[in-house]
Structure 1
């Protein structure tokens, strides 16, 4: 594998930054605001939908179906909407995107009011809200990412996409922290405030883009085409670029694994990880200021454990991006994938809070290395007049990986890792209870009943189930998919023609 970025002249950092125009920074600002709204919601949604203290009380399989459909919409639509953006205008796309996002967040805030006690109603409304946000986000991505790609060149693309990733994660870091504070506690929940806040941020972003976002020149030929013709040309372009198609297909398995850090790990931490040790460290640093970020028993909230990812990226993405600029894009991509996979497995196999926190940090270092390089590779491989279209293509592996990951992880979790299910199993197999007795207790009280019968607190009782049934096995299954993708990427990097970047 060629490690050096051969033939690439090293431009001083200050000179690279000066080459980035005003629209680069405006696009970054809009992305940061959109991520502030999106990640604030996504940080708490797994807990809002599933768990003993959740609001919607959906099963993990139902949650996986919603997230999976959301993934298909949000990730496949940009493959088409990128072409529409080039044809019909960037600003028009942004207006549609922010309007749909705000509607989706408002619907999430009012699901219980609209659905009342109907389980099917809660599921259907949550799915509808997810689809609205998915469509809005899908329309938003190509114009913003396309504008970033248009303002960069081969001399500053590595630093430029690193800065883009850094700015994105400022919103990504602040969002879960704010969401953890304003969602309240189990005793006094205020979940709806998270969704109303996201809708307000979307409205602010709409005004920001209308005022500052400059409209690039439209593709006149596409503007004369109808939407069906734009779609056909967009998909034909991808099929003709066989190397790009293979690249996106290979990396899909990695994104399948990758996305479960946000979609599955919060629930796993909530049910299985004793994060009181991390909560104690935070309390020693912040004192009473840490209370809003902790559960009632002093454990760090799951969304804040996951947020180690964003804070790590903010601190390390720029120096690492600068350092890795001397290496080829595919070498950095493979290196980052390997490190991220180690962190992924460690975070899922850990039972102690400090170990999970450590491996989330390791995962984040891998993400810093590989994720900007993925965007850079796609953006720099695109023809000059197809930047938004190709950035739309970059969502294809997220679509397949995120969709399939959620569709399979839900049933896998319900089978191997659900604490309620495993508590039922233990009560029947080890303590001799009958199915009728368990039905009389009710699912929400099953685990507390187990802890009471064993004379243990919730963490000690969870450890009994951990040792008996190995709920961590789900992470080995998902990690195996990521490993297959990594092997495929190593093979591609070794055989890659020197004619491509």
Structure 2
């Protein structure tokens, strides 16, 4: 692929003066907005399985496992599918305007999620939140792409992924504490998090297009058709969808598994002896047990501590072997969860940390790979297509979770078979990426679609 953007051009290709690492103010503002959007999303989504399956009498929605699986598959599928269009629109009409639209939709949407009770009303409001998030996602990633260069892109995406996990760590912890008061507070807090981004947006400046790149003269639909003709890229997205189908089980299935199958009382007893205040906080909504959200929070905490270090260690290394290794680590962690764990809640924490290591290796590199091999003047559009792999992964993950948890775990009493199936899906994804590395990677790296 031709290098149309030199390092010098990349460093000066945004509004505002870059700092010593080549990062402009827009880079930092995009990362800050990502934190607050993730505070809202993960504060809700990490608890969504518990909320939807909790009986109405206890403040939840009382949905069946099938209904839960449908919502957790179909809605995120649409959330990650729509960036195919919203990313292209961001390139066309401007990121700043689209950011504003996203926040206008999401802020009331999160609040209303706590006010509706029947299935289709909840579906409609959650769909609105998904539309807002779908507008936001490709634009913030494309801002990171445009405000980094070949020398600092790996570090830039590592910083970005760390910001994601600040939101992912703090959001569920705050939501876990406030749900001890009422479920409504979870959704009010999510709306407040998104509302902060209106203030940050006042200081955001549009990243400049590369002056050497041709102006866009075609509709988003025609450009989408161009991307679909890029066969190696489409295959890459399909393979990554298997990775995301495994990845998402830590959010949609693990909280239920901890609640229903893991005895965390010994872990709570240890916490009680060490810090009664912390023990009370983590068990406020689950008397006698540690709330599942506080165990899954170790995923985000470990990434916060280690992501930048791991990104630096992985800087300059071939991307696809790292994706393969990360996928296999996810599978190993699922086997540990399903066929262990020893030490109850502590054993699940060990598995979560192993999962996190695989995620830290693979997930940022999957985005960096797209930024590396695709034309930069259409960064948001190709990032939108990258999110298509997440869309398919969520769709598959939701239905696998609904069926696997409802049938294998609850009806058959065999959660080990469910986790074994998830692990197998990760191995299949890793094998597919290995094949892709040997057969298709060079075709993708060498191919640059140019519209007439």
- TM-score (normalised: structure 1): 0.80
Q: 1:20 aligns to what SS in structure 2?
A: coil
Q: 2:207 aligns to what SS in structure 1?
A: coil
Does structure 1 residue 206 correspond to structure 2 residue 198? Answer: yes
User: Residue 413 of structure 1 contacts residue 474 of structure 1 at CA under 8 Å; is this kept in 2?
Assistant: yes
| Pick aligned residue for 1:237 from 219, 226, 240 | 226
Structure 1 unaligned runs (5+)? 1-7, 9-14, 113-121, 423-468
What aligned pairs does 1:8-407 form with structure 2 within 5 A after superposition?
18-51=21-54, 53=58, 55-112=60-117, 122-184=118-180, 189-209=181-201, 211-217=202-208, 222=216, 229-230=219-220, 232-294=221-283, 296-351=286-341, 352-407=344-399
The 3 A distance-change label for structure 1 pair 150 and 284 is: farther
Runs of 4+ residues deviating >4 angstroms:
217-222
Give the number of aligned pairs. 421
Does structure 1 residue 476 correspond to structure 2 residue 417? Answer: no
User: Residue 105 of structure 1 contacts residue 133 of structure 1 at CA under 8 Å; is this kept in 2?
Assistant: yes
- Following superposition, the deviation at residue 282 of structure 1 comes to 3.3
Instruction: Provide the alpha-carbon RMSD of the alignment.
Output: 2.2
The 3 A distance-change label for structure 1 pair 193 and 202 is: same
The 3 A distance-change label for structure 1 pair 26 and 296 is: closer
349-358 or 478-487, which moves further after superposition?
A: 349-358
Q: Distance in 1 between matches of 2:381 and 2:37?
A: 20
Residue equivalent to 2:432: 488
- Following superposition, the deviation at residue 297 of structure 1 comes to 4.0
User: Residue 282 of structure 2 contacts residue 294 of structure 2 at CA under 8 Å; is this kept in 1?
Assistant: yes
User: Residue 43 of structure 1 contacts residue 179 of structure 1 at CA under 8 Å; is this kept in 2?
Assistant: no
Q: Distance in 2 between matches of 1:499 and 1:66?
A: 34
User: Residue 330 of structure 2 contacts residue 423 of structure 2 at CA under 8 Å; is this kept in 1?
Assistant: no
Q: Distance in 2 between matches of 1:221 and 1:342?
A: 47
Q: Distance in 2 between matches of 1:67 and 1:326?
A: 36
Q: Distance in 1 between matches of 2:182 and 2:328?
A: 39
Q: Distance in 2 between matches of 1:244 and 1:275?
A: 44
The 3 A distance-change label for structure 1 pair 498 and 410 is: closer
User: Residue 146 of structure 2 contacts residue 207 of structure 2 at CA under 8 Å; is this kept in 1?
Assistant: no
User: Residue 61 of structure 1 contacts residue 410 of structure 1 at CA under 8 Å; is this kept in 2?
Assistant: yes
Q: Distance in 1 between matches of 2:88 and 2:39?
A: 26
- 1:189-237 deviations in whole A, cap 9, x for unaligned? 501111011111111112211x111123579965x76xxx32x123123
Q: Distance in 2 between matches of 1:202 and 1:483?
A: 37
Q: Distance in 1 between matches of 2:146 and 2:321?
A: 24
- TM-score (normalised: structure 2): 0.88
- Following superposition, the deviation at residue 17 of structure 1 comes to 5.8
User: Residue 378 of structure 1 contacts residue 391 of structure 1 at CA under 8 Å; is this kept in 2?
Assistant: yes
Structure 2 unaligned runs (5+)? 1-6, 8-17, 447-452
Q: 2:275 aligns to what SS in structure 1?
A: helix
The 3 A distance-change label for structure 1 pair 17 and 237 is: farther
Give the number of the structure whose alpha-carbon radius of gyration is greater.
Answer: 1
The 3 A distance-change label for structure 1 pair 308 and 220 is: same
User: Residue 254 of structure 1 contacts residue 485 of structure 1 at CA under 8 Å; is this kept in 2?
Assistant: yes
